[in-house]
Amino acid sequence: MKNLFFPASLFLLIYFPAQAQTIVTLDEALRLGKENSPIAKQIAASFESNRWQYLATQALRKPQIVLNGSIPGYARRIERVAQPDGSYLFRSVSQAYSSATFSLEQPILATGGTISLNTSLSRQDLFGSLTNPLPWQSAPVFVGLRQPLLQFNRVRWQFQQQRLQYSQATQEQLEGLEVLSVDVTERFFNLYIAKLQLRNAELNRAINDTIYRVAKGRYGLGKIAENEILQVELSYTNARNSVEQQKLAIQVAEKELQNLTGTIGSGSGFEVISPASVPVLDPTPEKAVAEARANRSDYLGFALQESNAQRQVKEADANRRIQGDLVLSYGLNQAAPTLGDAYKNPLSAQFANVSFTLPIATFGRNKANYEAARFGLEAQQRQNEASRNSLELNVYNAILELKQLKTSLQISAKSDTIAQKRYEVARNRYLIGKVDITNLLIAQQDKDAALLVYVRTLQQYWIAYYRLRRLTLYDFEADKKIGK
């Protein structure tokens, strides 16, 4: 932090202190905004939603333990029943059944397959003339593998994209808080300016009251013309009206700041204190652009958009070729009349199957889908390139704006001090009759205008400072990334 030249007119704050109000600095207003405002809470809730979505997706990478069952089940229908001689009869069958399967499944991220370990137990009872001599069936252990062959690996892409989405959400949260800082800074200085103008208006009213009484005495002695006394009276009336206008402006500005800091209904107003110094920075455009590329959520968004487009290309390309599934399983099973016997001397069971799908004639549909996806990827890349250029141009312009405002702030501070001193000289000379009222009023208008230009420039400088932080997510004053 480095002190800049601050004009003498800011010491008006000393002469007209606010009563029964909470003193708040810009840093305190920013802290209140980030902790209490509805916008900050909405940003936090949005991030938490994305975080839990990410955790849910990451949990799928770990083994999943599932218990499936049907207890009890009942069915009555006509079924084909095998006879001892090999023929079939259609008979009405009534049965009750129960089953339970305990599974441990692990997705294979690299290949898109799934490996599982299972154990199951079931019972089937027949009613009527039919009987089931072996109602209990068990599979004490069963190992299975399902592996897509030559297919698009949706599982791996899903995890990659979810990781990008979570990283983007993390940076968006930081950006949202920096946007809030910009808004709080603007409202903070709106209130500061309104209060400063009120105090300046009250000072003008007091001074104009003195001038008006002096002018009436001179008019009574015939030293000034009626036109001059009327001009003095009009100036005094305008000063009184300005006080009332600024009181209304304060009420509006105060409510806006309270809304952003989450303090509406607190029962007390704000007495804002302008920072005694401002961050004087000299970052290079190259440094700012590099930090924007490394930190902004937009770049993660660009990567996610291109990832989605690349996914569509690879999926469309895979659909043009032969695809298959490999299913393997090995385990033990048994059927028995009793539950205990169902686990005695289990027999081995194996299953292997390779299925495939080969497009023969799609009349150009698969090729058209592939070409549409390929050109969609190219269009997305060109759009992202234009967006990146626009974002980096905004960063570059923000650097130039900050440098320009630093110079303007120094100039306007000096101008305000000069205008203040000139007004004091003109007022004193008017009181001793050395200048006319016109010169005094011009000096007063210049003083008020110079003060307003200075505080507006001060506001613009702080807004530009936080806007640069938002564009880069980098704290150039502390020389570190925001959020680290």
Counting the structural domains of the chain, the total is: 2
Per-residue pLDDT, 20: 52
Beta bridge partners of 411: none
Residue 315 maps to a domain: no
Per-residue pLDDT, 267: 63
Same domain assignment for residues 33 and 172: yes
Same domain assignment for residues 246 and 386: yes
**What is the C-alpha to C-alpha distance for residues 469 and 398, in angstroms, rounded to an integer?**
10
Low-confidence residues of the chain: pLDDT under 50? 1-6, 8-19
Three-class SS state of 244: helix
Same domain assignment for residues 396 and 460: yes
Per-residue pLDDT, 439: 85
Same domain assignment for residues 167 and 243: yes
Per-residue pLDDT, 10: 47
Per-residue pLDDT, 12: 44
Using CA atoms, how far residue 417 sits from 12, 110, 124, 447, in Å, is: 13, 70, 98, 9
The CB-side HSE value for 192 (13 A sphere, CA atoms) comes to: 24
Same domain assignment for residues 140 and 182: no
For residue 392, the enclosing domain spans 8-54+159-304+379-481
Same domain assignment for residues 234 and 264: yes
Residue 314 maps to a domain: no
Same domain assignment for residues 84 and 33: no
Same domain assignment for residues 146 and 163: no
Same domain assignment for residues 279 and 408: yes
Cis peptide upstream of residue 72 (ω within 30 degrees of 0): yes
Residue 399 maps to a domain: yes
Per-residue pLDDT, 430: 78
Residue 95 maps to a domain: yes
